[in-house]
Structure 1
Amino acid sequence: MSDASLPQTSTGDTLAQDFVAFAVEAGVLRFGEFKTKAGRLSPYFFNAGLFDDGLKLGRLASFYARRLAASGLGFDMIFGPAYKGITLAAAVSIELARLGHNKPFAYNRKEAKDHGEGGTLVGAPMQGRVLIIDDVISAGTSVRESIAMITAAGATPVGVAIALDRQERGTAPAADGSVQDTSHSAVQEVQARHGLVVQPIATLADLLDYLQASADPALAEHRPRVLAYRERYGV
């Protein structure tokens, strides 16, 4: 598969490039050789758990909020799936309020509470159009579980905001018990199966743009490996 045959889906905007630069500087986006859950050897790794102090989390939330404010996506509240989504939902709601878009938020517990208010949902009542906030979509499990909780509460899921879209084909079990690549990514599956808008801050194509434009030879040298990975596994 040649690079030309892949969709040119980079946003080409300053926000995406600034976010990639921030993720690299924060050590959240790293280059090397990393084994993914699918067993692939990836030349880069994005670990949102490393947005681990107030300054980094605040900047991350600002990127989410600015992307959402510019997206035109209509939603009434935010839902953060446990565990990473809890912090993200709270932080993004603060940043949206600072931009003049005050939205309630809720999140779930992994185990139901049998005293006090009880239940698995915490925060604002689940109602109206709900936006799910997460770091990435890998297998789509977190999104499916979130959709089930939102609809069970009588609300309507309308979209998912993520930090990075890897634009990478998913995997599925084959008839012989092996695992094979699918023709679509987890993000595309969420969009097609559930009819939700998926809004990333940046994509793999944006990362490639960033590496191509980098004046740092140590960063630029990673582009051929990232590009080769995209050619092999990209959608």
Structure 2
Amino acid sequence: MAAGEGQDALAQEFVQFAVEAGVLRFGQFRTKAGRDSPYFFNAGLFDDGAKLGRLAQFYARRIVASGVEFDMLFGPAYKGIPLAAAVAIELARLGRNVPFAYNRKEAKDHGEGGTLVGAPLRGRVLIVDDVMSAGTAARESIALIQSAGATPHAMAIALDRQEKATEDGRDVDHSAVQYVRDRLGLQVCAIARLADLLDYLQRQAADALGTHHAAVLAYRERYGVID
């Protein structure tokens, strides 16, 4: 079924891909914030060459469509490492060849040493990661990039959950994406958002998958943010 008028066709295509790949699942799941969520997005299950390659295509298409300006990619350890590498390959295939780098969590005391691997961090850096729950990983990446003399400029993520972040165990009025965008000053482009997932489930009303729409909508009404 094609995306309806007003829907983001790329996001709808991505949500369907994530469901078919078993990355996006429905049921009862406990989040890092201790919430009972009716859905779970596990980017670690993009775990073979075909799925990773297609995922990189979605990232690259969204990055290009967003118009975000950048000079290189950075993948935070650990999930961001294969993502940045795969997206760099796909961007090169589309005619935009940019360098990429990533970090290791344990400093290396031999060879080239340090925690950074790959191209030197220079210019405007686009951070590539899967999702953001609290903005902690973003802050760590920003600190690494700035300490190398480069500029953390934007982030690309797979899914924006559009829900309240937590601080000291309490809900706050902004999401992790809003925090990174509004307080840290980085542009954030997401392949899909919770709103796109709800649109997708609504379109599946005649199928078993559509039965999850009410639970996901109730979750958003309880924990969602207004963009």
* TM-score normalised per structure 1: 0.92
Q: RCO (CA 8 Å, sep 6+): is it higher in 1 or 2?
A: 1
Which residue does the alignment assign to 2:49?
Answer: 54
1:226 corresponds to 2:221: no
Which residue does the alignment assign to 1:149?
Answer: 144
Deviations 1:137-157 (A, max 9, x none): 111111101000000000001
Which residue does the alignment assign to 1:163?
Answer: 158
Q: Which whole-Å CA distance do the structure 1 matches of 2:80 and 2:174 have between them? A: 24
Which residue does the alignment assign to 1:41?
Answer: 36
Q: Which whole-Å CA distance do the structure 2 matches of 1:70 and 1:131 have between them? A: 14
Partner-residue secondary structure (3-state), 1:158: strand
Tell me the amino acid that sits aligned with residue 39 of structure 2: Y
1:192 corresponds to 2:187: no
Deviations 1:109-157 (A, max 9, x none): 1111111111110000100000000000111111101000000000001
Q: Which whole-Å CA distance do the structure 1 matches of 2:21 and 2:124 have between them? A: 33
Which residue does the alignment assign to 2:200?
Answer: 210
Task: Give the C-alpha shift of residue 216 in structure 1.
Answer: 4.8
Which residue does the alignment assign to 1:84?
Answer: 79
Which residue does the alignment assign to 2:3?
Answer: none
Q: Which whole-Å CA distance do the structure 2 matches of 1:212 and 1:97 have between them? A: 36
Q: Which whole-Å CA distance do the structure 2 matches of 1:145 and 1:170 have between them? A: 17
Task: Give the C-alpha shift of residue 217 in structure 1.
Answer: 1.8
Q: Which whole-Å CA distance do the structure 2 matches of 1:216 and 1:202 have between them? A: 23
Partner-residue secondary structure (3-state), 1:183: coil
Which residue does the alignment assign to 1:65?
Answer: 60
Tell me the amino acid that sits aligned with residue 121 of structure 2: M
1:27 corresponds to 2:17: no
Task: Give the C-alpha shift of residue 192 in structure 1.
Answer: 1.6
How many residues end up aligned between the 2 structures? 220
Alpha-carbon contact 2:129-2:158 (below 8 Å) kept: yes
Partner-residue secondary structure (3-state), 1:138: coil
Percent identical:
75
Alpha-carbon contact 2:205-2:211 (below 8 Å) kept: no
Q: Which whole-Å CA distance do the structure 1 matches of 2:173 and 2:183 have between them? A: 14
Q: Give the gaps of 5 or more residues in structure 2.
A: 1-5
Q: Which whole-Å CA distance do the structure 1 matches of 2:32 and 2:66 have between them? A: 30
Q: Which whole-Å CA distance do the structure 2 matches of 1:216 and 1:14 have between them? A: 20
* TM-score normalised per structure 2: 0.95
Q: Which whole-Å CA distance do the structure 2 matches of 1:78 and 1:26 have between them? A: 25
Q: Which whole-Å CA distance do the structure 2 matches of 1:110 and 1:181 have between them? A: 29
Which residue does the alignment assign to 1:75?
Answer: 70
1:134 corresponds to 2:124: no
Task: Give the C-alpha shift of residue 215 in structure 1.
Answer: 5.6
